[in-house]
Structure formats: C-alpha cells, structure tokens
Amino acid sequence: MKASRIASTLAIAVAAAFPAAFSTTVSAQQMTLMTGPQGGVWVPLGGQLKSMWEKAIPGLNITATPGAGIANVRGVDEGKAQIGFGNSSTTVDGIAGNAPYPKKTTKVCQMANLYPQYFQVVALADAKVNTFADMKGKSVVTQPKGNTGELLTNLTLGLNGLNYQSLSKINFQSYTDAVSMMKDGHAQVFTLGTTIPASSVMDLASARDINLVPVDDKTMAALRKQNSGYQKLIVKAGTYPKQTQDVPQIGYSAHLVVSCDLPEQTVYTMTKTVAANISDMASVNKAMAGLTPKEMAADIGVPFHPGAAKFYKEAGAM
C-alpha cells in the first residue's frame, strides 16, 4: 500500500513538472486524415501535415487516405476519420443539414482556413464551350460523387436549365484520369474544385488547347442565394498557358475540420504547428503563402474546436 502511494505521488509530481509532455503522451492516438482525389493538392498537403503533426506530438500516428470535400465532412461526423480537408460552402451545408447531406453534422469542428478554392470549368478549345449552358450535349468529366467539384457541376447545370441527362455523357473520375480522358478526346469538358494554377489543368494545357469557361452573373447570384459561402473569384490572365484574359470563377475556402471529440491539447498543438509551418506548406501550395493566424481563424460558420480557439486567442487572432 505504501509503495503504491509513493508511485502515485511520483506520477503526479512528474505530470506537474512536465505538463506538456504528460498531456501529449495521454492524448497521442491513432488518427485518420481524409485528403482528396489523386492529382489534387490535398494529397501532398495531407502528407506534409501528417509528417509535421507526428513530429510535434510524439506517439501520434496518422493514416492519410484519399477523400473529397463532402465525403470528408461526413467521414469526420460519422467517426470514420478524425481530421479532413473540407470546403467552406459544403461544410456549412453539412452544419445546416442541406442536401446532399442526409442529416445535420454535429461532430465536425473547425480547425483552420487554408486558402481560396476555385471551381474551374475547363473545355477543349475546339469544343466551343463558352458558357455553362454550352455544356448541353457535351461529354463532361468531373470527380466522383461526394466531391465538392461534382456537387457544383450538378448545381451549375441545374441553374442553367440542364442536368446530367442533358449531356452526351457524364464521367466521374480522379483528376489524373480526367486529364487522360481530355487528352484523348473522350471528354470535352473537365470540372474541378481546387487551387490555381491546378497542376492537373497545367498538365492538360501542355497537351491540348483549352478554354476556361467564366461564371456569369446570373448563375453566381442564384448560387449565392442558395449558399452565401460561395463568392466570385478571378483567375488572372496568364495563370494558364494562352489565357489572355481574367476569368471569373465560383470560389470558396479550403479548410481543415476535426472531430469535436478530439482532446483540446491535441488540437491546440496541431493548430499551432500549422501556423508555425506556413512557409513549408506554401512550397506545396503557393496559395498558402503569407497565411496568418487571423486568416486561419476567420469565422466561416463552422464551430471552432476548443483547442483551435485556444491557440487563436493566444495568438491574438480571435
């Protein structure tokens, strides 16, 4: 009994002397990080986050898996993953329980905003697609269902009096396979939601002449009426080969969501680690260059995890 009391006292003393190390050990666990489709920027960013977080939290083991914006939010909410990349507009849809979510998401918390995303509609130059309505009768390739790019493809077609049946064919593929289809002429239009310049679009532009289709004001207004998380962004001239004019596109924010059940100290350390390594992450995605804690902490309508909020308050960003 005496030995037991001594051991207990020593354990308490160690925890008091080294609180950070003690809490890190306690919170360390196995986690799953849902990234994005192959060929997109979320895959390499996910690999970098895995490495950074495992180094910052001894004992933490993260498995990075492919995913998509909507699927990732559902995965975290349903306990299939603890961390995921998301898109602000569709994550807000999940909080509200809007389609395509079957119910409101209640276990998804905000960690950090990362960079702006662009819904890009890329057509082969000889397909003569200059507006969304021109996609009628064309062969289109987008991402698998559950991806924000696919959701927006369906939405924008509907806002222009079209649907998948109005196309000659609709294909659901990864970015890599979509580019191959476009290069071979098996698809005429490629839609995707990612950063700019998108490596997959650059790859396509190296082999085929392309046209970036602009979003019109009527479509943009109707979309914003449904979800204020969408905004008009501009792809500057010269972003892609032979692009001579600025092109307006539908925009939203890429961000990181986590399970609300994760320990506060764990998420605090993860958030702090992201903020401390922005320059390294910008080497993978230039759109993150100069990201500040204030921008990471911008309110997008998703509740913050207490651990993330703790860091932002300490950083004076909240």
Is the pLDDT reported for residue 26 higher than 50?
no
pLDDT digit string (tens) for 239-262?
999 999 999 999 998 999 999 999
Please indicate, yes or no, whether residues 75 and 198 belong to a single structural domain of this protein.
no
pLDDT of residue 314: 97
Task: Identify which of 222, 216, 228 has the alpha carbon closest to the alpha carbon of residue 89.
Answer: 228
Final residue of a structural domain among 252, 271, 290: 252
Final residue of a structural domain among 252, 283, 305: 252
Please indicate, yes or no, whether residues 130 and 98 belong to a single structural domain of this protein.
no
Please indicate, yes or no, whether residues 52 and 152 belong to a single structural domain of this protein.
no
Please indicate, yes or no, whether residues 232 and 292 belong to a single structural domain of this protein.
no
Is the pLDDT reported for residue 14 higher than 70?
no
Please indicate, yes or no, whether residues 65 and 138 belong to a single structural domain of this protein.
no
Is the pLDDT reported for residue 117 higher than 60?
yes
Please indicate, yes or no, whether residues 103 and 220 belong to a single structural domain of this protein.
no
Final residue of a structural domain among 252, 269, 295: 252
pLDDT of residue 228: 72
pLDDT of residue 306: 98
Instruction: Domain of residue 209: give its range.
Output: 118-252
DSSP per position, 4-56: HHHHHHHHHHHHHHSHHHHHHHHH--EEEEE---TTSTHHHHHHHHHHHHHHH
Q: Is residue 297 part of a domain?
A: yes
Q: What is the mean pLDDT of the chain?
A: 90
Is the pLDDT reported for residue 27 higher than 90?
no
Q: Is residue 260 part of a domain?
A: yes
Task: Identify which of 192, 308, 203, 265 has the alpha carbon closest to the alpha carbon of residue 29.
Answer: 265
Q: Is residue 85 part of a domain?
A: yes
pLDDT of residue 89: 87
Please indicate, yes or no, whether residues 193 and 146 belong to a single structural domain of this protein.
yes
Please indicate, yes or no, whether residues 125 and 239 belong to a single structural domain of this protein.
yes
pLDDT of residue 23: 37
pLDDT of residue 292: 96
pTM for the complete prediction?
Answer: 0.70
Please indicate, yes or no, whether residues 221 and 264 belong to a single structural domain of this protein.
no
CATH of the domain at 165: 3.40.190.10
| % of the chain at pLDDT higher than 90 | 76
Is the pLDDT reported for residue 197 higher than 60?
yes
CA terminus-to-terminus distance, the chain = 49
Is the pLDDT reported for residue 31 higher than 90?
yes
pLDDT of residue 242: 93
Please indicate, yes or no, whether residues 170 and 131 belong to a single structural domain of this protein.
yes
Please indicate, yes or no, whether residues 221 and 246 belong to a single structural domain of this protein.
yes
pLDDT of residue 38: 82
In Å, how far are 96, 169, 209 from 240, measured between CA atoms?
36, 26, 10
Please indicate, yes or no, whether residues 126 and 239 belong to a single structural domain of this protein.
yes
Q: Is residue 7 part of a domain?
A: no
pLDDT of residue 195: 85
Total number of domains constituting the chain: 2
pLDDT digit string (tens) for 39-64?
888 999 999 999 999 999 999 999 99
